[in-house]
A and B are shown apart, each in its own frame.
Chain A
Amino acid sequence: MFKHLFKLIWNKRNQNFLFLSEILISFLVIFAVFSYLTYYYQNYRQPIGFDYKRVWAIEYGNGELTKNRDSLVMFYDLLYKSLKSMPQIEEVSYSSGNYPYADSFMSTGLTQNGQKFDRVSNYFVGADYKNVWNVSLTEGRWFLPEDAISKNRHVIINETLKKAIFGNAQATGKLIGDFEGANKLKVIGVMQDIKADGDFSPVSNAMFSQLDSNGLSDNHTILLKVAETADATFEGNLYKFMATSMKSAVEIRHVDEMRDARNERTYIPMIIFSIIAAFLIINVALGLFGVLWYNISKRKSEIGLRRAIGASGASVSYQLVAEALILATISLALGCFFAIQFPLLNVFDIPSSVYITAILLSVAFIYLLVLACSLYPGRQAAAIHPAIALHEE
């Protein structure tokens, strides 16, 4: 049955050239949209990995503070205790400027067994960083004060980096080389992945080091976990307290608002893109509907003849719908050939599963589209009374 239909359509391929090209281009557009949406959906599905609610980031200038190292350490220690003693503050931690959702990116490179790993996010964190964000460790332990005075710098890496360097083996206790390869860093723990760039961005390699007294003199950020009772009045008072203590410009940011701004950067273009794609597809659907309707109305006499000989209405509409679907298949075959190049060539460094899913979804979508557009004209054709159809000619 299908071979027969295929042959008929192959003979008429010149006539149907426009139909075929329209399906092909629609498929490519749908493939692009679905790849885009699938990629972001897959990223969205990953667990966030940390608790961003009720976290405030205070960014301050440190130009007016003492330059004496020991006095500075005492100053920051006192500041920590003052903040921690406020009833509305639960946790306090110093941090480098590239905390989650901040528009700051600090990276370094690592070497292991001759292999270079670059673009490793480099975080410098205080002792209570883990408590502020409520992150969990899958291996090893968090930093202790003793870690600051060890021969090799003690670091904690995230799951993604661990898999990249060590595969499935245990990473705790092993040594990795820094970007020059000369100094060795000792892994004392592995942290669960956190989506620090927003809900729609993939997790990248990350390494956490302790913020020591050297780093503190260059530091500009304090992270706070606040209680439910922290309101605008408290924030005003906190602001005055910080501005007076640091004698500089101070900015208090709410991390959940920063997260919303970050996510907006992804999903607003996504929404615009989807609206435009939806419009294009409605356009195509209407066009296909009209073209199919005309093609079928041209064959009224042929249909009438079949009905007169004894074909049932259902088989007539089945044949017409099948023909439309086969036309779609010819186009989709060519479209898939182009689309399969994307996972094979690893375009944009996106995992192949995204492309494969997108291809499957697009094929299903196009079939549904063609089915929907040919069902109504097909049924109209089947409802033609044989006598009237034959009489027309």
Chain B
Amino acid sequence: MLKNYFKIAIAVLKRRKFFTFISLFGISLTLTILMVATAFVDNILSPDYPDYKRDRSLYIRRMEFQNSKEGWMNNSNVSYYFLDHYVSKLKQVDKMAISTSPKSSNAYVRNKKIVIEYKYINADFWNVLEYNFLEGKPFSKKEIDNAELVAVISKETKDAYFGDEKSVVGKYISADNINYRVIGVVDNVSQILGDIAGDMYLPYTLSREVSGTNLMGSFTAILLAKSKADVPAMQAEFDQMIKKVPLPSKEFDRLYCNADTYMSRLTRSIKGSATDAAVAKVVSLCALLVLLFLLLPTINLVNINITRILVRSSEIGVRKAFGASSKTLVYQFLVENMILTFLGAFIGVVLSAVTIKLINKANLISNMHLSINLTVLFYSLIACLFFGLISGVYPAWIMSRLNVVKALKG
């Protein structure tokens, strides 16, 4: 039976080529846009090199002092003192990775100017994150404690600074008039992981910021729990600790600092505040935008489908006169619609593969690689079914109510 429907569907689609074209155009491009957007969101949310232990991690980024009466506030990354004195003493924390936000320095080599973004990190940074070393090795606690002038650089920096040299371990790279000895080269990190990506990694003991008792500074941290199940306990312990941290001056009366999961960290920076992670808000906002975007193509498809059915009204009238039940006709129509939608989806997948390749080549966000993986395909399948059903139900209902006599009369 299904095979017959399939044959009829193809014949029908070939009959009115213009309408088929309109439907396919609408479905395939809508799905292409949806798939590229899904690939983008998937790239941001799912664990990406080198941050593979995301489900066991909490992220500390900013601290805020507030004066609730006057409304002033001070907002900044946290300091080394805060992380060392308060956070490292938490029992639930298995390892803590510390790094500064990237600072820029210029290097002038071979008549070119290179911008090198460097970060100060601790020894556990290499244990929490899984960097891929193309050459050499990371620096250890001993080298950090001795404040040795060693550096790990990214592949991009190596190519830009040293050119075509095969091995650069042991060579010197100069930044801010200081010569660092290269001891390792790592694979590039996508700029989407802005807190972790960097061109050069240096021991934190070389930073001028590690002394003093300021709570604010330019560091961020990643806390690793022993297992995924321990994360809520780690977060509770962190929140308890924050409540006991003394305020630095009388100017402010509230202190806020959050150890967030990766998702909360994102939503907090998009629409949240010091007290509100805004996960539900951002997710529902995104869902609303997607629905609004889908509204116009769906209505358009419904319109086209009704037109296609009405064009065939005499055929439907004949079949009804011969005794076909409404159910059979509706079923056949829905199958036709699904076939059309899947055809459009197939074209959409091909188009989005091409688009993603173009986007990756354009390198709009440095080192970001979008890909079509199973998650993306799954969501597009759902969107496809949604599309097909919604655009088919209303016209099918119209068709089942066609008066036989009127339809036969044409």
A residues in contact (CB < 8 Å) with B: 18-19, 21-22, 25-26, 29, 61, 63, 232-233, 235-236, 239-240, 243-244, 248-252, 268, 276, 279-280, 282-284, 286-287, 289-291, 294, 298, 393
Cα distance A8–B208 in the bound complex, in angstroms: 81
Which of B19, B30, B33, B177 sits near A240, CB closer than 8 Å?
A: B177
Which residues of B have CB within 8 Å of A233? 111
Residue of chain A at shortest CB distance from B111: A232
Interface residue ranges of B240-261 to A (CB < 8 Å):
none
Q: Which of A63, A243, A248, A280 sits near B297, CB closer than 8 Å?
A: A280
B9-61 residues with Cβ-Cβ distance < 8 A to A are 18-19, 21-22, 25-26, 29-30, 33
Contact B103 A249 (CB under 8 A): yes
- Once A276-B33, A276-B293, A279-B33 are accepted as A-B contacts, the answer to whether A19 and B303 lie under 8 Å apart by CB is yes
Q: Are A18 and B25 in contact (CB under 8 A)?
A: no
Alpha-carbon distance between A235 and B112 when the two chains are bound, in angstroms: 10
Interface stretch, picked from B179-187, B191-199, B305-313, is B305-313
Q: A256 to nearest B CB, angstroms?
A: 14
Q: Which 3 A-B pairs have the closest CB atoms?
A: A236-B108, A287-B300, A243-B177
Cβ contact of B26, chosen from A235, A276, A286, cutoff 8 A: A286
Nearest B residue to A22, CB-CB: B299
Q: Give a binary string over B105-122; 1 marks a CB under 8 Å from any A CB, 0 the rest.
A: 110100111000000000
| B297 (CB) vs chain A CBs: closest residue | A283
- Known A-B contacts A280-B297, A284-B300; the reply to A290 vs B29 at CB < 8 A is no
Q: Is the CB of B299 within 8 A of A21?
A: yes
B304 within 8 A of A: yes
0/1 per residue, B310-325, Cβ < 8 Å to A?
1100000000000000
Given contact pairs A284-B300, A294-B311, a sample of 8 additional A-B residue pairs in the complex whose CB atoms are under 8 Å apart: A22-B296, A22-B300, A236-B113, A251-B104, A279-B29, A283-B25, A286-B22, A286-B300
- B residues near A26, Cβ cutoff 8 Å: 296
A251 touches B112 (CB 8 A): no
Residues A63 and B303 in contact, CB atoms below 8 Å apart:
no
Could you say which residues of chain A place their CB within 8 Å of the CB of B208? 61, 63
B108 is contacted by which of A232, A280, A291, A294 (Cβ under 8 Å)?
Answer: A232
Instruction: State in angstroms the CA–CA spacing of A18 and B304 once bound together.
Output: 10
B interface residues with partner A (beta carbon < 8 Å): 18-19, 21-22, 25-26, 29-30, 33, 103-106, 108, 111-113, 176-177, 208, 293, 295-297, 299-304, 306-307, 310-311, 364, 410
Cβ of B105 and Cβ of A291 under 8 Å apart?
Answer: no
Q: Which of A63, A250, A286 touches B106 (beta carbons < 8 Å)?
A: A250
B108 touches A239 (CB 8 A): yes
Give chain B nearest CB distance to A218 CB in angstroms. Answer: 16
Instruction: Tell me which residues across on chain B come within 8 A of A244, comparing CB atoms.
Output: 177
B300→A283 contact, CB < 8 A: yes
Complex-state Cα separation, A21 to B310, whole angstroms = 19
Residues of B within 8 A of A290 (CB): 18-19, 22, 303-304, 307
Q: How far is the CB of A72 from chain B (nearest CB, A)?
A: 19
A-B pair number, CB within 8 angstroms = 88
Closest to A254 in B: B113
B283 to chain A, nearest CB (A): 20
| Contact between chains at A287 and B105 (CB < 8 Å) | no
A236 to B293, CA, bound (A): 50
The answer to whether A248 touches B296 (Cβ under 8 A) is no
Query: In the complex, A233→B306 CA distance in Å?
Result: 70
Q: A26-B296, A249-B176, A284-B296 are in contact. Are A18 and B303 (CB under 8 A)?
A: yes
Query: Contact at A291–B307, with CB atoms within 8 Å?
Result: yes
Q: Shortest Cβ distance from A214 into chain B, in angstroms? A: 20
Query: Out of B105, B177, B296, which one reaches A283, CB within 8 Å?
Result: B296
**B residues in contact with A291, CB < 8 Å:** 303-304, 307
Please give the distance in Å from A220's CB to the nearest CB on chain B: 12
In the bound complex, residues from chain B placing their C-beta under 8 Å from that of A284 are 296, 300
User: A294 to B104, alpha carbons, bound, how many Å?
Assistant: 63
- CB atoms of B299 and A239 under 8 A apart: no
Q: Are A25 and B295 in contact (CB under 8 A)?
A: yes
Per the bound structure, the CA–CA distance linking A251 and B26 in Å amounts to 50
- CA of A13 to CA of B299 in the docked complex: distance in angstroms? 17
Name A61's closest neighbour in chain B (CB-CB): B208
Instruction: Determine the distance from Cα of A287 to Cα of B30 in the docked complex, in whole angstroms.
Output: 14
Contact check, B113 vs A251: say whether CB atoms are below 8 A apart.
no
Enumerate chain B residues within 8 angstroms of A298, measured Cβ to Cβ. 310
